[in-house]
Amino acid sequence: MRLTTITARPVHRLTGLVRGHPVVTAVTAAVLVLVLSLTALLTGGGSTQPRAANVSRNFRACLLVSPAGATDARLSQASWQGMQDAARSGRVNAQRFPAPTIDAKAALPYFNGAVQHHCELIVTVGTGMKPATEAAARANPHQEFVIIGATSTRPRISAITAPDDPAKAQAGKKLADKVSAFIAARH
């Protein structure tokens, strides 16, 4: 490849300077690499990858999913859909945590894990999770909870009524809308 006259002279002068001087050659190479690296970093290197949004300050709602029968599984699915709908606003983080038991004492560490993850609202599903949710509310006096399909008289535990027949598609959509609206009202 032949250099043009404009670039050929400076290149020839530079090669004449560095020839026979290993220190100058090393410094010149280091500067060249640094300039090229900074240029690539500052221009983005032509990358078209999207940047992640900072979601650390978003309202965080967490669903504790327990082993459930068919009815609770449908309620959990509709509740999760409502949480995802609320998250589409961009101001809510929806997360899902497994709770392999509904036993109040055994489930408490899973609730505490959700609290440690800074979940501002912990969502549980079904009457089987009521004792565990109430125990968690006693153990975490500043935490807000909501039970889908059950009621509680404990403070900081809200309730969202479940549809009569959660197997119907329309009932699941209505429950998802209720959960989404409930979360939207909290942030």
Long-range contacts of 178-183 (CB under 8 A, 24+ apart): 178/82, 179/78, 179/79, 179/81, 179/82, 179/83, 179/85, 179/86, 179/123, 179/148, 180/82, 180/83, 180/85, 180/86, 182/82, 182/146, 182/158, 183/59, 183/61, 183/82, 183/83, 183/86, 183/92, 183/121
Q: Is 76 in a helix, a strand, or coil?
A: helix
DSSP letters, 9-30, are: HHHHHHHHHHTT-HHHHHHHHH
The predicted pLDDT at position 138 comes to 94
The predicted pLDDT at position 53 comes to 58
Angle at 171 between CA 165 and CA 177, to 5 degrees: 145
Per-10-residue mean pLDDT, the chain, length 187: 60 64 72 71 58 72 80 86 93 91 88 93 92 94 94 94 78 93 91
The predicted pLDDT at position 86 comes to 95
The predicted pLDDT at position 168 comes to 73
Q: What is the pTM of this model?
A: 0.69
Q: How far, CA to CA in Å, does 169 sit from each of 51, 100, 142, 172, 180?
A: 36, 27, 36, 5, 17
d(CA 167, CA 74): 7
d(CA 56, CA 104): 30
The predicted pLDDT at position 37 comes to 72
Amino acid identity for residue 74 in this structure: R
